[in-house]
Chain A
Amino acid sequence: MNVFVIIYYTLLLGGSCLAAFYNKRSAFLLLFSLTLISFILGIVGGVGALRVVATCAGLLALSAMVAYAFREFLVAIAPTNLAKELRTAPLTAGFGMFVIFTYAIAGIFAPWIAPFGEAQIISSAFAPPDETMLLGADQLGRDMFSRVIFGARNTVALALAGTVMAFLLGALAGLLAATTGGWFDQLLARTSDVIMSIPSLIFALLMLSIFGGELANNTTSFILLTVFAGVTGLLVVKAVSERSLIGWIIGLAVLAGVSMAFAVGMLSIFNPSEIILVLVVAVIYSPRVFRLTRAVAGNVVVMDYIEAAKLRGERTWYLIRREILPNSTAPLVAEFGLEFCFVFLLIAGLSFLGLGIQPPTADWGSMVRENATLISFGDVTPLIPAGAIALLTVAINFVVDWMLHRSSGLKG
């Protein structure tokens, strides 16, 4: 019996009694069952097990407090309308937003936050952590902490760009296909079938081997980007202008400009080999989004109110924007969170196979791979970047869940 154990049980029992006294049923159940479990754990695992429980509980409480404070902070600085919405956010969503915010800050200000450069070799390989290197050194003696920070910038930006592009293309095509039906629907569905039928990892491997070498230059990536944006935009133009010739002409002209501007913009952010990666990811994942959107929208399209709107003579673009999209957002938003994880993991998997982001650029996927063999010896180094991946995807999905909950119109 040491001081820690005494304080531990006192706190738990005291908390349980207080909860019971004030009729907080769920809090009481939680605290008291924790007490009971602790008795068993304490006997089996000793003080060590109790310490682990206490640490976990402490971390949980800390995250809850951070989440709460961060939500209140957002409420305080946000305009009234938004603040009202934010007040409904559960603590998990608050936590998610906090994590995303932190990552965004880390990514945007990486060169100022990180104490060392991402490629800078400052010590011996696998040096243990000390005051200058918070997380120790990697296999080349580069600062792990700096690389994790830079990894936020590189990996997240790439995965996000890939997911967003896949969603723009896939969701637009899906909505349009479900609304128009007929040969257009069939054409898109078959095209997506063809792309999806080739396993994603193999497809990526082939595409990256073809475009990854000599062809990874500015010209190629500009052309590919413009083509991609053009195809996406074509769908919008088709939906907006329908059968009017003038609409098509204006639409196409605007589209050409927008596509090239988009390509130039992307090229200013990423280097050519990264752009190839983003495009490959977008092409691979857009059919998945397409299928889901089409299935969800297909269920909406057969509803009577759509029929009514069609009879009113509403245009396709109106149908998509005002009737179908609002009624299929929820599954789409949920899918976005998940697809983002998948894109992340695909990039990590590609790094595992030696394709993907070019060194010495830090990315979390290849950092895991480079250090993976250490796991067998209980070294946690590879867990850090993997944890960074997991934390971000969990955080995003927390926020997504909240939005899903809100948009489904379900209160309570």
Chain B
Amino acid sequence: MALTSLTRAPRTDAPARHPKRRFSLWHLVLAPIALLFFIPFAQMLLASLSPRSDLVKFPPPFFPSRITLDGFVGLLTDTDILRWLANSTIVAVISIVSHVVLCSLAGYGFARLQFRGRTAGFFLILATIMIPTQLLMIPTYIMFSKLGIVNTLAAAFVPWLASAFGIFLMRQFFLSIPIEIEEAAAIDGANRLEIFLRVVLPLARPAMTTLAIFTLLSSWNDLVWPLIAINDENAFTVQLGIANFQGTRRTQWDLLMAGNVIATAPLVLFFLFAQKQFVQTMTMSGLKG
């Protein structure tokens, strides 16, 4: 404590000497870059709100001549976008619930329980992180068709029910909780499951949030698994739906961009509300390596 306050002292009174901060030259670097990153989104949104005649004009106008919802209306009448959205939502919810529950259980088991085969089991799980997706595409497809879940939503969520990364993340978190808390509960007569549910899990909320966001991003944005295993339009996720729609409507930009907005908006809004947690997730998911 004393040490921190000593080392911190000069830093806190440094700005006081310059009550009015000078304009930072970094603005000249950051503002254009931020604008550049924002432009694709702006273009997407503007195009989705433009009349189609604007989008095939030459040269194309920077701003729409008028704002219209024709693109969205066309998309709703031409495609099953609402069903795809519902499908994606179902896939994401099942993935998140299963991922958080199963990885918390397993993470706690590997962190705190003593049992035969624990170390071997944990290393086996860690080893699977090395296996790349494309190695699994073909046999998984065959497996799914043998199980009869090709062309169902299950093909989209089964790959996200649990992950080695999730177990690793939860295990690391549980290891960081002081064991005395659990021992106190044990002395009070709680059994393992009670300790886990009543004492440990409530403390693990930050890690569970990180894992939930990771699963949301992965399952909502996934294209490979649905692409391989789902051909039935009724079971399309929103990502597969818009990718497929793009193949048939190469230049109907208003519809395509409306689809893009609908597929992207949920996560963008979520990001804006929970930016800190998202950034935390991005930092942690680097641990996958």
- Whether chains A and B associate is no
